[in-house]
């Protein structure tokens, strides 16, 4: 695993560069390199570990969606939480997200699962863990990524104003426990997984509430519709 620092846009790089010199990031790199030497397949591709930061520069972050770890199926993950590459079947949790958007805003359900358009508008699609072994969910938990993404949330909390954090499920809510709710908007709901969506994700109103909050503060709303992708 290369350091990855060169993948970060300048704003993120300025704030996160010190993390790459810390022991936990060196140990993480050693772990991922050893996994590859053992012949294991790691998702997403290494040059996409930090895709969320490339699509959403620090000075443009308006919304943060917190996920857990990348999809572990072949060809799915590309560095944006809940998102899959164009041409890949939309996963169940994302389908439920689309259903909620449709119910709130009347937008059509997209025919694909690539959320890059959201990211390009200022929605940071942040997984807590940025890599995974093929076929083994949560296989890279506890290896150091959590410390890195905790720092990401700390930077947004400290450097940005009036950001909307969408925390779905207990894992994301624990991850965002330190966010300053006087400066930012924190919206919580159950996870959109088919196992929990009916316990309060459906009907949460988060997408409409996000745009109302942004507009009240003179910021442009997010267009939650998704154009077709090549």
- Active-site residue numbers? 69
CB 172 within 8 A of CB 83: no
CB 105 within 8 A of CB 208: yes
- Pairing of β 164-168 and β 132-133: unpaired
> H/E/C letters for each residue in 25-65?
HHHHHHHHHHHHHCCCCEECCHHHCCHHHHHCCHHHCCEEE
Which of 96, 63, 107, 56 is CA-nearest to residue 221? 63
Which of 136, 140, 138, 185 is CA-nearest to residue 160? 185
Looking up tokens 């620090």, which residue turns up?
58
Distance CA 196, CA 192 (A): 6
Which of 83, 172, 173 is CA-nearest to residue 123? 83
Alpha-carbon Rg of the chain, whole angstroms?
17
Which of 126, 81, 89 is CA-nearest to residue 110? 89
């Amino acid at each position: 695993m290369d350091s990855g620092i060169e993948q970060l846009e300048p704003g993120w790089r300025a704030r996160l560069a010190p993390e790459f010199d810390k022991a936990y990031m060196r140990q993480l790199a050693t772990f991922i390199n050893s996994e590859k030497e053992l012949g294991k397949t790691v998702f997403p591709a290494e040059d996409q570990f930090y895709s969320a930061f490339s699509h959403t520069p620090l000075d443009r972050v308006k919304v943060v969606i917190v996920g857990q770890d990348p999809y572990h199926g072949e060809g799915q993950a590309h560095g944006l939480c809940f998102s899959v590459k164009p041409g890949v079947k939309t996963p169940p949790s994302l389908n439920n997200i689309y259903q909620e958007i449709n119910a709130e805003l009347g937008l059509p359900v997209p025919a694909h699962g690539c959320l890059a358009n959201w990211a390009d508008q200022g929605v940071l699609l942040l997984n807590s863990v940025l890599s995974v072994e093929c076929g083994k969910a949560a296989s890279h938990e506890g290896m150091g990524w959590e410390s890195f993404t905790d720092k990401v949330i700390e930077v947004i909390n400290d450097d940005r104003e009036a950001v909307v954090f969408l925390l779905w499920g207990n894992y994301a809510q624990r991850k965002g426990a330190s966010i300053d709710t006087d400066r930012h908007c924190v919206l919580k709901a159950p996870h959109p997984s088919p196992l929990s969506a009916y316990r309060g994700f459906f009907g949460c109103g988060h997408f409409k509430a996000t745009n109302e909050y942004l507009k009240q503060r003179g910021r442009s709303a997010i267009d939650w519709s998704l154009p077709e992708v090549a």
